[in-house]
Amino acid sequence: MLVGILVLVIFDAPRELFALVIAMLVGLAATMVVTVWWKVSVHTAVAGGVVTILILAFGVALAPLALAIAAIGWSRVRLRDHTVAQTIAGALLGGLAAAVTFGILR
């Protein structure tokens, strides 16, 4: 990740691309910190982050993508890897981390 971020900086990548990479890194770090105490869903955290950034970058027309988060959450519960609360918490944590980080760096 650090090498990738360095390459983005060296080659003057678009600001939104840099913000995207950092936002996803922050979301992953936040999810890992919480998972030490409570097993939140990394799958729904990533989905929540991606959907949030797409909506921030391209507008609310992409809001229906939130259905993908629900589908991923359903699959994690159905596979008995997570509870409903863990999938919801993951989606909210990923979305919040993405919104704050992407919003600041954008």
Which tens digits make up the pLDDT trace of 21-64?
999 999 999 999 999 999 999 999 999 999 999 999 999 999 99
62 close to 51: Cβ distance less than 8 angstroms: yes
pTM tops 0.85? yes
93 close to 45: Cβ distance less than 8 angstroms: yes
What does the pLDDT read at residue 2? Answer: 87
Query: Dmax over Cα atoms in the chain, in whole Å?
Result: 44
Q: Is the pLDDT of residue 1 over 90?
A: no
The tokens for 7 are 């390459």
What letter would DSSP give residue 65? G
Q: Name, in order, each residue with C-beta under 8 angstroms of 58's C-beta and a sequence gap of 6 or more.
A: none
What does the pLDDT read at residue 56? Answer: 97
Average pLDDT over residues 5-22: 95
Confidence category of residue 77, pLDDT binned at 50, 70, 90: very high
What does the pLDDT read at residue 76? Answer: 98
